[in-house]
Amino acid sequence: MADRADVVFVDGVRTPFGRAGEKGQYWNTRADDLVVKAMIELLERNPNVPKDRIDDVAIAATTQQGDQGLTLGRTAALLAGLPKSVPGFAIDRMCAGAMTSVTTLGSGIAFGAYDLAIAGGVEHMGRHPMGFGADPNPRFLSERLVGEDALNMGMTAERIHDRFPALTKERSDRFAMRSQQKTAAAYAAGKLQPDLVPVAIRSESGWGLATQDEGMRPETNMESLATLRTPFRPHGRVSAGNSSPLTDGATASLLASGDAVKEFGLQPKMRMVSFAFAGVEPEIMGIGPVPSTEKALRKAGLSIDDIGLFELNEAFAIQVLSLLDHFGIDDEDPRVNQWGGAIAVGHPLAASGVRLMIQLARQFEEHPEVRYGLTAMCVGLGQGGSVIWENPHYNKRARKA
């Protein structure tokens, strides 16, 4: 059997993320239109890519109904103007939907089945709350396959606090405050805007344009965080301030084989080294990235010390802290979430995996001294997902400025 082909992350874009619900900027915008907008921008940014050479399109959504249903990868491909010869499909792995879109199509590239592919995700949590319309099998509870709290993400976060007393509310609040501060600084420095695609929006006051993430709270401080109620448990430790907000948004990425990169003169932003998914107890789903990261590192023949940049999804601050503690990484380590994360910008479930990749790719450009980076996230029902990437700009003689 031939050696596997290189899997290259060529480019990625996303919509600004909006606050879910009637007051959010996307309340009158369809979910499929969000991901189509991202795909059109992705194609326009990469004019060297012949549309008829795209081998497949995978778009993820957690709640696959209404304007998030009907085999999103295929319908979005048609709406984005791809030829009818380009196939597509939908994926659901809850929060790791877009990540799974990337790893699934990346696997096809490595196998030699694909040369070019589009992977992404969308979630309109205002229209489609997580779990809405689902009918979980009663055996889950009657046979005690999962605890009653397994589908309540906030309760799973509280349970991590229970299990690891060193992970205090103060640490979660401080991490959340720093996420808001880092995101505000990244916006001020123009770090995030290059990969945001503006979206036309309609409200009672007329038409407008969504140009930035709606959930940012740069004024957040420890005093205000301490006063927030803990809705999942009286006197608990998980609040709206140290959790990601309910969010609408979409992401799209272009993947290619090494041969396709050469054929079409593309500029690779990252190379996929390894990936892994792992299962954990659903009641403490937030620790999922720990075993998935260990597995991905093992498959790559690397250690955690080889990772120079981390993009960890902030579904809850406690989820990130549990991974950092496991690997002996400081809460304030500058390698981690340099531009903040989901606590500030939002977490539109199935879209978030590609957001992590977009930010890591940009950071690779700024850090030629870093060879490997990690994107990782927890997943509902007790899973974790991790992808290790290599920096094409790596120069071992480079030094941090």
Q: Active-site residue numbers?
A: 95, 347, 378
**Furthest-apart CA atoms within the chain: distance in Å:** 61
Q: Rounded to an integer, what distance in angstroms lies between the CA atom of residue 62 and that of residue 39?
A: 19
* Three-class DSSP category at 130: coil
Structure tokens at 149: 């709290």
Please give the backbone phi and psi of residue 330, each rounded to the nearest 5 degrees, phi first.
Answer: -70, 150
Find tokens 């699934």 and name the residue. 104
* 131: region left, alpha or beta (phi > 0 left; psi from -120 to 50 alpha): left
| Through-space distance between the first and last CA atoms of the chain, rounded to whole angstroms | 44
Count of residues in the chain: 401
Structure tokens at 265: 């003169």
Q: Rounded to an integer, what distance in angstroms lies between the CA atom of residue 143 and that of residue 300?
A: 38
Residues 246/131, Cβ–Cβ less than 8 Å = no
Beta-bridged to residue 11, according to DSSP, are 254
* Three-class DSSP category at 21: coil
* 206: region left, alpha or beta (phi > 0 left; psi from -120 to 50 alpha): left
Residues 196/211, Cβ–Cβ less than 8 Å = yes
Residues 38/128, Cβ–Cβ less than 8 Å = no
- Helices (H), strands (E): how many in the chain? 12, 12
Structure tokens at 45: 């940014």
Tell how far CA 295 is from the center of its chain: 19
